[in-house]
Amino acid sequence: MIHIQALVKNYKGIQALRGINLRVHPGELFAYLGPNGAGKTTTIRILAGLTRASAGQAWLNGYEITTAALAAKKQFGLVPQHLNLDGELTVTENLLIHGFLHRLPYEAIRRRLEYLLDYVELGDKRQAFVKHLSGGMKRRLMIARALLHEPRILFLDEPSVGLDANIRRRIWALIKKIQQEGVTIFLTTHYIEEAEFLADRVAFLDQGRIVALDTPANLMADLGNWAVDQFSDDNLQAHYFHSREEAQRFAAGTAASFTLRRVNLEDAFLTLTGRKVS
Amino acid sequence: MPGWLAVYARELLILRRRLSRLLTGWAVSPLLYLIAFGYAMGQTVIIQGHTYLEFLVPGLVAMASMTQAFAIGSDINISRFYWHIFEEIQAAPVSSASYVLGETLAGLTRGLLASGLIILLGALFGVVLSYNPSFWAAMLLNSFVFATLAVALAMLVESHADQALLNSLIITPMAFLGGTFFPVEHLPWWAQPLLQLLPLTHATQALRTAAFGQRPPLTPYLILAALGGLTFLFAVLTVRRAQD
């Protein structure tokens, strides 16, 4: 379980986080959704011990991240937003070093490594140098590495950023598979569809504050199911309806050009903050 | 496997992969110094009762062990700002002291290899000195001071350019003023106290005395050990503060 209490981070006079309170339940896939600069990565960096919080506390499976830092670090695996593999080493060597850093015995690392490389479909790349892998392969290798020491929590910071649609779908399928094995997943994203597809619950983060927290369905429910985007005089306005028929009737009555579509999390975020996510 | 050994193992894997290139690179400058200063110019020069080549080889060992141990800072810099591997270590259950120890051992290994190379090159030029335990102890202490200093400074810099600047500000002046190429006593009286502040001056003194088969005084060893202790603590503190 992840428990965050009154977490604050100030960077050179800027408040990146303004008092985050949060509980993520065991086995849950929790998405942290917000635009760039909202504080998503800062939260993960603090939880992973890469950044010091200005105030507040956080616990990972009961271990406080500063007072019991080494124990807390055994609880999670981290897949950061940027690639952080050793390009000069092979796929196997990268995983071996991670296992050594987590004090796993050599034989245990070898066994787990074989399983995970097949799990992320990199079994034929064991001896390949990381610098020769594609972006999608590197991302999958980072996920395998984060799972090597069998953590109960997985932090995924924008796991599909910069990947094409096909690879992104494969990463999503992999994330779902990991959750089915009981791992608690804390995921940051600014891709609406990623949060909608994957998350059990979503927190909207805006300017360092959580402005809403619920299931994707509940967050969208108040708006309705259908949206009509109406374009007029360089202005785009969305109107929301519970049924498709209502939406179509409204669209038929407008002189402006329009698009009829399903309501998504972006609409809920926009309604709450007056801002788009991406 | 303890954390320090994991950090050291990673550096050894990288070192093994780069070894042939590194050894070639490490050999160039000392070879040129030996040819230009030692062989061509120094055949007729006698310093402290030894030929200049004999005088030069322990100095080059001091310089090479310093330079290569300090170079671990550049590797850390690359792992922080290019590969971002430092974050992988920060997120692992590895204490700051373990991290510093692992990187320092990598620096010592580099210093040891570079020193061995100088001794081999010296032998090619007909210089075979007394490479006794006092000699190796001085070389390892020298490497320890500069490796720990490199770890500390690598945590404080913000970019690759800063790291290059450190080499220019620390290593180059030290190499030329720390007794590598000439006895520090030849410099003016007012420079003497300043030269005694340089760790390399003490390392060179101990290495040269040991290599000439004499019993070196204890003072340089004590100074290097004390300095090494301080730089190790400094490195642990800077690693702890490396969280942004």
DSSP collapsed to 3 states, A114-169 = HHHHHHCCCHHHCCCEHHHCCHHHHHHHHHHHHHCCCCCEEEEECCCCCCCHHHHH
Q: What's residue B37's pLDDT?
A: 79
CA distance A67 to A55: 14
Could you give the CA distance from residue A34 to residue A21 in angstroms, rounded to a whole number? 16
For chain A, the 3-state helix, strand and coil shares in percent, each to the nearest 5, are 35, 30, 35
Average pLDDT over residues A118-141: 91
Give CA torsion, residues A41, A45, A50, A54, to 10 deg. 100
Contact A83 B84 (CB under 8 A): yes
- CB–CB of A49 and B94 under 8 A? no
pLDDT reported for residue B42: 67
* Per-residue pLDDT band at A42 (split at 50, 70, 90): very high
Measured CA to CA, the distance from residue A58 to residue A48 in angstroms comes to 10
Residue with tokens 């690639």: A83
Q: Please give the structure tokens belonging to residue B175.
A: 């190499």
Give mean pLDDT, residues B166-195.
86
pLDDT at A14 over 70: yes
- Rounded to the nearest 5°, which phi and psi values hold at B220? -60, -35
Q: What is the mean pLDDT of residues B108-136?
A: 94
By the 8 A CB rule, do B80 and B86 touch?
A: yes
pLDDT at A278 over 70: no
Q: Share the mean pLDDT of chain B.
A: 91
pLDDT of residue A200: 94
Of all helices (H) and strands (E), which one includes residue A205? strand A201-206
**Confidence at B189, pLDDT banded by 50, 70, 90:** confident
**DSSP code of A201?**
E
Instruction: Tell which A residues from 213 to 242 touch B, by Cβ distance under 8 Å.
Output: none
The two tokens of residue B88 are 């992988």
pTM: 0.88
Sign of the dihedral through C-alpha B197, B198, B204, B207:
positive
Closest C-alpha to A266, from A256, A257, A278: A278
For A93-126, write each residue's pLDDT tens digit. Answer: 999 999 999 999 999 999 999 999 988 889 999 9
At A25 the pLDDT is 95
pLDDT score for A73: 95
Average pLDDT value for residue range A201-216: 92
Q: Quote the pLDDT of residue A277.
A: 66
pLDDT at B36: 83
- Alpha-carbon distance A126 to A91, whole Å? 5
CA dist B77 and B167 (Å) reads: 12
- Average pLDDT on B108-118 reads 96
Token representation of residue A18: 């303004």
pLDDT tens column, B131-176: 999 999 999 999 999 999 999 999 998 888 888 888 888 888 888 8
State whether the Cα torsion B132-B135-B139-B140 is positive or negative.
Answer: positive
Q: Is B242 on the interface with A (CB under 8 A)?
A: no
The residue assigned the tokens 């005088």 is: B55
For a pLDDT cut of 70, what percent of chain A falls above it? 99
Residue of B11, B16, B88 for testing the chain A interface, max A β-carbons within 10 Å:
B88
Q: Where do we find the tokens 């004590």?
A: B222
In chain A, what residues touch B5 (CB-CB under 8 Å)? 100
What φ, ψ does residue A241 adopt, rounded to 5°? -140, 155
Q: Which chain A residue lies closest to B89 (C-alpha atoms)?
A: A101
Position A38 confidence tier, pLDDT thresholds 50, 70, 90: confident
Question: Which stretch of A96-100, A189-193, B67-71, B216-220 has the lowest confidence by average pLDDT?
Answer: A189-193
* Among the listed residues A102, A94, A86, the one whose alpha carbon sits nearest the alpha carbon of residue A120: A94
Identity of the residue in B14, B93, B244 whose CB atom sits nearest the CB atom of A70:
B93
pLDDT of residue B12: 96
Cα A266 to Cα A162, A193, B166, B234: the distances in Å are 20, 9, 48, 49
Return the pLDDT at A210. 94
Summarize pLDDT for B31-69 with one digit per residue, the tens.
898 888 777 776 678 888 888 889 999 999 999 999 999
Q: Name the helix (H) or strand (E) containing A20.
A: strand A14-24
Q: Which residues of chain B make contact with A51, given a CB cutoff of 8 A? A: 243-244
pLDDT band for B110, please (50, 70, 90 cuts).
very high
CB of A82 within 8 Å of a chain B CB? The answer is yes
